[in-house]
């Protein structure tokens, strides 16, 4: 299981306040529109399932239990999409990599030593005709590579890998 995977459109950049810190955030406002629409669809289905909103359609006969089940699932997905957050921080001064993710606040935190990083990996995974490029931090002491970026855009992945390699002072392995 990958510990985390960030999907983004912006390259990895140093913190504006401290050049010894590199941050990559995921979640927040850009997922709000999708999350809220999932949540509201789930809320509507839940209300139909609880028979608070009558279902008069003869073409679409939906049992209360099915509507309630789908409604709760969609509400859960909408909540996670709307409130889910994650952040990867690489601090050269403290020689530490910190990864956290959760809903609104950190629920799980992973900390690794920056000294254990041996290389920055740039990989390509094919699924049918689609290619996905990953950028990760690799080290012999890591049970698994720590994924920093996953994108369908090779240029973005390459740019992220180069910035990360320059920041941590380690080579890129393809």
Burial class (CB in 10 A: 0-12, 13-18, 19+), 164: buried
Domain co-membership, 53 together with 95: no
Same-domain status, 23 and 54: no
Could you give the number of structural domains in the chain? 2
pTM of the model: 0.68
Same domain for 141 and 56: no
Quote the pLDDT of residue 13: 59
Q: Would you say 98 and 111 are in contact if contact means Cβ atoms under 8 Å apart?
A: yes
Tens-place pLDDT, residues 117-137: 899 999 988 888 888 998 888
Q: Which pLDDT score is estimated for 59?
A: 57
Q: Do residues 90 and 148 both lie within one domain?
A: yes
Q: How far is CA 166 from CA 10, 14, 63, in A?
A: 17, 11, 58
Say if 130 falls within a structural domain: yes
Same domain, 19 and 98: yes
Which is it for the CA torsion 49, 51, 52, 56, positive or negative? positive
Confirm whether 140 is domain-assigned.
yes
How far is CA 45 from its chain centroid? 27
* Spatial contact of 149 and 22, defined as CB atoms under 8 Å apart: no
Domain boundary among 82, 102, 123: 82
Spans of the chain, pLDDT less than 50: 1-9
pLDDT of residue 72: 93
Residue 1 lies in a domain: no
20 lies in the same domain as 99: yes
Residue 68 lies in a domain: yes
With a CB cutoff of 8 Å and minimum separation 6, the contacts of 108 are 100, 101, 102
pLDDT at site 4: 38
Same domain, 157 and 99: yes
Range of the domain at 126: 13-27+85-173
Same-domain status, 138 and 89:
yes
| Pairing status of strand 172-173 against strand 119-127 | parallel
Domain annotation covers residue 40? yes
Q: For residue 95, what pLDDT is reported?
A: 92
Cα separation, 101 vs 6, in Å, equals 11
Residues 105 and 66 in one domain: no
CATH number at residue 151: 2.30.29
- Please tell me whether residue 151 adopts helix, strand or coil conformation: strand
Let me know if residue 2 belongs to a domain. no
Q: Is residue 22 part of a domain?
A: yes
């Amino acid at each position: 299981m990958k510990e985390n995977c960030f999907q983004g459109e912006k390259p990895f950049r140093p913190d504006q306040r401290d050049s010894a810190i590199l941050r990559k955030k995921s979640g927040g406002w850009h997922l709000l529109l999708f999350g809220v629409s999932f949540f509201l669809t789930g809320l509507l289905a839940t209300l139909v399932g609880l028979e608070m909103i009558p279902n008069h359609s003869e073409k679409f006969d939906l049992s209360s239990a099915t509507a309630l089940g789908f409604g709760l699932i969609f509400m859960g997905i909408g909540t996670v999409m709307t409130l889910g957050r994650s952040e990867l921080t690489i601090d050269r001064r403290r020689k530490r990599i910190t990864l956290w993710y959760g809903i609104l606040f950190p629920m799980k935190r992973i900390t690794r030593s920056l000294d254990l990083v041996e290389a920055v990996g740039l990989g390509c995974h094919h699924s049918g005709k689609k290619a996905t490029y990953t950028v990760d931090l690799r080290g012999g002491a890591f049970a698994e590579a720590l994924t920093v970026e996953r994108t369908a855009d090779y240029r973005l992945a390459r740019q992220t890998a180069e910035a990360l390699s320059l920041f941590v002072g380690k080579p890129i392995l393809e």
